[in-house]
Amino acid sequence: MGQFRVLVVDDEAVIRDGLRRILEGEGFDVETCVSGHSAIESLHAREFDLIVTDLKMPGMSGIEVLKAVKTLQPEAPVIIITGYATVDTAVEAMKNGAVDYIAKPFTPEQLLQKIDRALEQRVLLMEELGKAKDAVASRHGFDRFVGQSREMQKVYHRIMQVAATDSTVLVTGESGTGKELVARAIHENSPRSDKAFVAVDCSSLAENLLESELFGHVKGAFTGAVQAKTGLFKVADGGTLFLDEVSNICMATQAKLLRVLQERMVTPIGGTQPVPINIHLVAATNRNLRTMVGEGSFREDLFFRLNIIPIELPPLRERKGDIPLLISHFLKKFTAAVGKNIRGIAPDAMALLESYDYPGNVRELENAIERAVVLTMGEVIHKEDLELAPDRPEASLVPGLAEGYVPHTSDELKEMKRHIRDQAVESIEKAFVMGALERNNWNITRAAEETGILRPNFQGMLKRLGISVKAQLEK
């Protein structure tokens, strides 16, 4: 029974300490709280196998604690302690989800008997829930998702809607929101699930290499083409092709991609014979393609061809209700990986984690928890164990953007926030690119090498940001 974690809530120190001694003597891991409000903080910070709470407490009653448990940790059983053992009390407690109640005075044996019964039920319930959740999650490809917020429920619903079709899907969202997870879930729920899922990061390949990767080439098509290569469009035949960061594709390759999507045929570089393909295409980007179309850096016809079924992933700051679930998931994952016995997260650390905006989204939260698990020396993660940037740059980078205008609808507010973020990112990118160019006397090749960006992609950034090296040299 040493594996079970029990939360005891009672405003009377004598009862609270007595329960701790009884339960610890039986091998339980016990945490005590003096009030309902402090219990809520503990429920946010850690998971419990059982909650034992007094009914009558100042400030927040045991029934209110019970209701909070059913919201925060619905599978955890609750036993109510009462000095008012009336039928009405028992009925109210059971109606609100308590598994049992015990009237004062009681013996340790009476309490332990009720606790044992409640924990036996919990073990059986968790086993059944675990089996059911694993089966459903694996079947639908959602086992890698964590989140029950309304925003994520909309995403899950849209995935199930589009999976049965072959319509092209465009997944948009900031970096770290899980765009590839969406693509994989679409594939795993589709009739193509027994065929290949092929993912390609369009931002990681030079222009000429990307064409060869996507479309393939014949032997002798160019210098170094010593043998024929099958393109990924053909490798994914019958399955799903995921084009990540599609916004990084140059205009020439965009034209070829458009033709492939229109004709459902692909011609290898250097070849003359088109080859039919049968794929479900899912594309993704962290940029605003509509803006890029307006700037002339992305083809409008290709945008419309890709954007048949849009799926927008919310940033983590817009679904903060999922943060405790994500923290719990990552804490289990990394404590198991490093072999540490970390019992939970202190209230000060949880408050910081829940208030932070996460410009890097779920990936940043995951990294923060992994780092804290590795570095903490105790059994509880505290605020000082976390390394989070205290402020995001948007407000200082674009001061006054919204001055004089207040949005009237949630859609207007959302668009304004997106605009602020886009301008902030662009400001950082411009400073980054201009700094590299100035340090290298406006030599594009050397600037690209210094930054670690492929020259074609660096040139694409210059064009998108409206930076003309020629104009700068003529100044």
Task: Tell me: do 305 and 206 sit in the same domain.
Answer: yes
397: in domain: no
Task: Tell me: do 283 and 189 sit in the same domain.
Answer: yes
Q: Which residues form the domain of 449?
A: 408-474
Task: Tell me: do 220 and 99 sit in the same domain.
Answer: no
| Total residues belonging to the chain | 475
pLDDT digits (tens, 9 = 90+) for 387-444: 876 444 433 333 334 344 455 555 556 566 666 666 677 778 788 888 888 888 888 8
394: in domain: no
**CATH code for the domain in which residue 378 is found:** 1.10.8.60
Task: Tell me: do 115 and 171 sit in the same domain.
Answer: no
Task: Tell me: do 121 and 29 sit in the same domain.
Answer: yes
- The two structure tokens encoding residue 337: 């990986």
| Dist CA 461 CA 444 (whole Å) | 11
pLDDT at position 393 is 40
193: phi then psi, degrees, rounded to nearest 5: -60, -25
342: phi then psi, degrees, rounded to nearest 5: -95, 120
393: in domain: no
142: in domain: no
Residue owning tokens 């400030």:
59
pLDDT at position 392 is 42
Task: Tell me: do 182 and 286 sit in the same domain.
Answer: yes
Q: Is 264 left (phi over 0), alpha (psi -120 to 50) or beta?
A: left
| Dist CA 10 CA 26 (whole Å) | 20
| Dist CA 197 CA 355 (whole Å) | 37
Tell me how far CA of residue 338 lies from CA of 36, 324, 325, 331, in angstroms. Answer: 34, 21, 20, 11
391: in domain: no
337: in domain: yes
Task: Tell me: do 227 and 126 sit in the same domain.
Answer: no
**CATH code for the domain in which residue 284 is found:** 3.40.50.300
Residue owning tokens 């400001």:
427
Number of domains composing the chain: 4
**CATH code for the domain in which residue 116 is found:** 3.40.50.2300
Residue where one domain finishes, among candidates 284, 312, 340: 312
Q: Which residues lie closer than 8 Å to 435 by C-beta, 6 or more apart?
A: none
pLDDT at position 293 is 93
| Beta strands, E only, 177-274 | 197-201, 216-217, 229-230, 240-244, 265-266
Residue where one domain finishes, among candidates 267, 286, 312: 312
pLDDT at position 396 is 34
Task: Tell me: do 418 and 370 sit in the same domain.
Answer: no
Its pTM stands at 0.56
Tell me how far CA of residue 187 lies from CA of 103, 184, 193, 236, 290, in angstroms. Answer: 55, 5, 5, 12, 26
pLDDT per residue of the chain (475 residues) written in tens, 0 to 9: 346 899 999 999 999 999 999 998 888 989 999 999 999 988 887 889 999 999 889 988 899 999 888 878 877 899 999 876 555 776 778 878 889 888 888 899 999 999 998 988 887 776 655 544 444 444 445 556 777 777 888 888 888 889 989 999 999 999 889 999 999 999 988 999 999 999 999 988 777 788 888 988 888 767 777 788 888 999 999 999 999 999 999 999 999 999 999 999 998 888 888 899 999 999 999 999 999 999 899 999 999 999 999 999 999 998 888 888 889 888 888 888 888 888 788 888 888 898 888 988 998 999 999 989 988 888 889 888 888 764 444 333 333 343 444 555 555 565 666 666 666 777 787 888 888 888 888 888 888 888 878 777 788 788 778 788 777 776 6
395: in domain: no
Let me know if 156 is exposed, middle or buried by CB neighbors in 10 A (0-12, 13-18, 19+): middle
61: in domain: yes
